[in-house]
Amino acid sequence: MSDPIEEFKTGAVLLLVSGPAGCGKTTLCDRMTAAYPEALRRVVTCTTRAPRGAERDGVDYHFLSHDEFDAQVAAGRFLEHARVHSNRYGTRKSEVYAHLAAGRDLLLNLDVQGAGLVRREAQADPLLRGALVSVFIMPPGRDELRARLVGRGTDAPDEVERRMRVAEDEMRRWREYDHCLVSADRESDFDRIRAVYLAAKMRVR
């Protein structure tokens, strides 16, 4: 006879977080994994862009050349992959399925393209479908989003404008997610996304 307590405890959560560049999603994701270091593992995604600052290969991203990325696409290793801001990004299946099957919670930071592909995969995969909980981070306003992008100091003015145009398209897709968090301040945002995660841990699938 199965143990209902253990049966419930093995249900893993895949917390998928999306939002336009500058909305604060990376900061939120970092705080979540710091708050739950034993329970919540960040999925390390792949990218063809160059490392920024102190970013480390295998820790912040798996940094791949375009040829390496193409080879992994051809081999069917990606759960999702897309071109974003002139670079390519992807999530390896190996970073997701084995952990979910073992009952380990995952945090996945994706753009709206990648999130849409994961949702599509989840429709046909019971493990992924049962684990997936998605959150869209909505910036408090367009002026604030522009100020955040400019304040980062990493993009030229024309790149900021391009990212703003992309953000407009991304923000229209908030209804595709389970939850929409309108950003206010760091503490409030963290409290709310933590509440989503804790509620997901208690849901009956």
Domain residue ranges in the chain: 4-43+103-202, 44-95
For 22, phi then psi, to 5°, come to: 95, 0
Q: Quick one: average pLDDT of 96-104?
A: 94
Q: Using one digit for the tens of pLDDT, what is the confidence trace for 137-174?
A: 999 888 888 888 887 777 788 888 888 898 999 999 99
Percent of the chain with pLDDT over 70: 94
CATH superfamily, with its number, for domain 44-95: Guanylate Kinase phosphate binding domain (3.30.63.10)
CA distance 49 to 120: 26
3-class secondary-structure state, position 42:
strand
Residue 179 has pLDDT above 70, yes or no: yes
Residue 8 predicted with pLDDT over 60: no
Task: Provide the greatest CA pair distance for the chain.
Answer: 64
Query: Torsions phi, psi of 181, nearest 5?
Result: -110, 115
Q: What is the 3-state secondary structure (H, E, C) of 62-127?
A: EECCHHHHHHHHHCCCEEEEEEECCEEEEEEHHHCHHHHHCCCEEEEECCHHHHHHHHHHHHHCHH
76 or 204, which is more confident: 76
Q: Under CATH, to which class is 4-43+103-202 assigned?
A: alpha beta
Sorting pLDDT into bands at 50, 70 and 90, what band is 2?
low
pTM of this prediction exceeds 0.95? no
Two domains, one topology: 4-43+103-202 and 44-95:
no
